Structure 1
Amino acid sequence: MIVVTGATGNVGRALVARLVADGRAVRALTRAPETAGLPDKAEVVRFRPDDPAPLLAGATKLFLYVQGAGGRLPELLAAARTAGVRHVVLLSSGIVREGADETHPIHVMHATAERQIRDSGLAWTFLRPNAFATNALQWAPQIRTGDTVRGVFAGMLTAPIHEDDIAAVAERALLDDGHEGAAHRLTGPAATTNTDQIAAIGRAVGRGLTFVEVPPEEAGPLFPGTPPEFLQGLLKNFAATVGVAPEITTTVEEITGRPARTFARWAADHAADFRP
């Protein structure tokens, strides 16, 4: 049995679909099973962070999403070990790297999770993706209602990765030997700017879209629900990418045997998300 936390998130949903298609027994944890919309063959269970033991009964492997642990990661890991889980695959972050700003809140969150997993005594694999292509969904409300997209740092350079490529690597890490103790850095195949991404989405939906840069000090309304300390960290990260070539890895192809998908492919896959 493989337990997947954050099962209705972008990566978790894709991973559940892959594992079910491969005939694996999957227990998908979500806070709202009644609206999860996950494959019928998955065992969809309500996530209760205050009582993790029943969620892990019979499991041998665990896919872990930090925010999906409900703020009780040590308790979840202890329950996993007691239940007989042997291997944890963590969706961490590319911000965890040598020379990183260790005070950055996103770094703190993921580096802390990695340390707690190492200390748990469980075998582990860390997935450290950089920019997610799904971050472009932040522009969907604007694109549904007009052809102008307001955002920060038109020239920031990233190599955004398709969520299903992350899920494909997670699947192999869970099912194949040789991944224990590895920290896999994951990126898309090519650098794109925000302007490039808006153009690609425009092509996917058959419209001409324009990106208009907003000063970072006016960016708050563009990131609703983002805590101020996280927003400042994000903006600092974004600013540091302008005109700087991003890290690009071939890890997706090395592990899955298939090249990472381009942002244009991601935009085509998600065109419906940007249409009215």
Structure 2
Amino acid sequence: MTTSRVGVLGGRGKTGRAVTAALEDRGVVGVPLGRAEWSDLAGALAGCAAAYVIAPNLHPDEPEYVADVVVAAQEAGVGRMVYHSVASPYVPAMPHHLGKAAAEDVVRRSGLAWTILQPGAYLQNLDLSGPVRVPYDVHATFGFLDLADLGAAAATVLLDDGHVGATYELASRVATVAELAAEAGVAAERVDDPGTHAWLSAMFAYYDRHGLPVGTLPLSALLGKET
């Protein structure tokens, strides 16, 4: 696939920066787009062959957000879209996951050539420089994803053939918070949920009971390496 410019919605956050860096490693210009470009998103996407779509964290209506991006992409002549979803999007106990499940449906019905990525929890979200304190069971199992691996996977599905119509769960490794902390030589403990957002509290409660397991084989296959 010939692609010289890719619009990265949410491109100024840590996820977007990882995607843009990976695109640049492949000789492609990643165009970070955010709130400043929203008033004329179609204009901002002009000249982009593809778009990578990251919604703002805990967006109150992610399906509508993604639908607006789809319309702008269509108006701009962008034929290729990769949507940044989440591992296990259809989980009724986590409202923001359900929003991403509905947004996936919007993408699949968009008429664009689409791919959906479903990342696990980021390794970089854990500060392993000291005691690790999280509001859920430190022995719960997760599929953790390294941001560099996410960026490389995004660049792969955006630029290489064979990924249109595919949905990939992504994890770099399977572990518990306790295991990661032990490897770093620090302690790990469960603390009370701060209750700052109802959706986050629901997520922590789900993690406490079930974790968020994600297999590593899809990422390994995408990147052609052991993970």
> Shorter-chain TM-score: what band?
0.7 to 0.9
Tell me, in whole angstroms, the C-alpha distance in 2 between the residues paired with 1:21 and 1:192. Answer: 29
User: Quick one: structure 1 residues 19 and 237, their matched pair in 2 at CA, closer, same or farther if it must change by over 3 Å?
Assistant: same
Q: Does 1:102 align with 2:76?
A: no
Are the counterparts in 1 of residues 118 and 169 from structure 2 also a CA contact under 8 Å?
yes
Other-structure match for 1:220 = 194
Q: Does 1:54 align with 2:43?
A: yes
Other-structure match for 2:169 = 185
Q: Does 1:234 align with 2:203?
A: yes
**Any idea what SS the aligned residue of 1:234 has?**
helix
Q: Does 1:80 align with 2:66?
A: no
Q: Does 1:10 align with 2:14?
A: yes
Other-structure match for 1:26 = 30
Other-structure match for 1:266 = none
Structure 2 runs not aligned, ≥5 long: none
Which among 166, 186, 190 is matched to residue 150 of structure 2? Answer: 166
Most deviating of 232-241 and 56-65: 232-241
Are the counterparts in 1 of residues 143 and 216 from structure 2 also a CA contact under 8 Å?
no
How many residues of Structure 1 are paired with residues of Structure 2 in the alignment?
218
Are the counterparts in 1 of residues 170 and 214 from structure 2 also a CA contact under 8 Å?
no
Q: Which amino acid aligns with 2:197?
A: P
Other-structure match for 2:181 = 198
CA RMSD between the two structures: 2.4
Which among 122, 125, 135 is matched to residue 115 of structure 2? Answer: 125
**Displacement of 1:176 after TM fit?**
0.6
Other-structure match for 1:115 = 105
**Displacement of 1:50 after TM fit?**
2.8
User: Quick one: structure 1 residues 159 and 74, their matched pair in 2 at CA, closer, same or farther if it must change by over 3 Å?
Assistant: closer
Tell me, in whole angstroms, the C-alpha distance in 2 between the residues paired with 1:111 and 1:212. Answer: 31
Q: Which amino acid aligns with 1:11?
A: T
**Displacement of 1:111 after TM fit?**
1.1
TM-score by length of 2: 0.85
User: Quick one: structure 1 residues 16 and 241, their matched pair in 2 at CA, closer, same or farther if it must change by over 3 Å?
Assistant: same
**Any idea what SS the aligned residue of 1:28 has?**
strand
Are the counterparts in 1 of residues 104 and 116 from structure 2 also a CA contact under 8 Å?
yes
Are the counterparts in 2 of residues 19 and 171 from structure 1 also a CA contact under 8 Å?
yes
- The one-character-per-residue Cα deviations of 1:218-249 (angstroms, maximum 9, x if unpaired) are 3116xxxx522x1232123212236x9x3423
Tell me, in whole angstroms, the C-alpha distance in 1 between the residues paired with 2:56 and 2:215. Answer: 26
Other-structure match for 1:210 = 187
Tell me, in whole angstroms, the C-alpha distance in 2 between the residues paired with 1:213 and 1:26. Answer: 39
Larger radius of gyration: 1
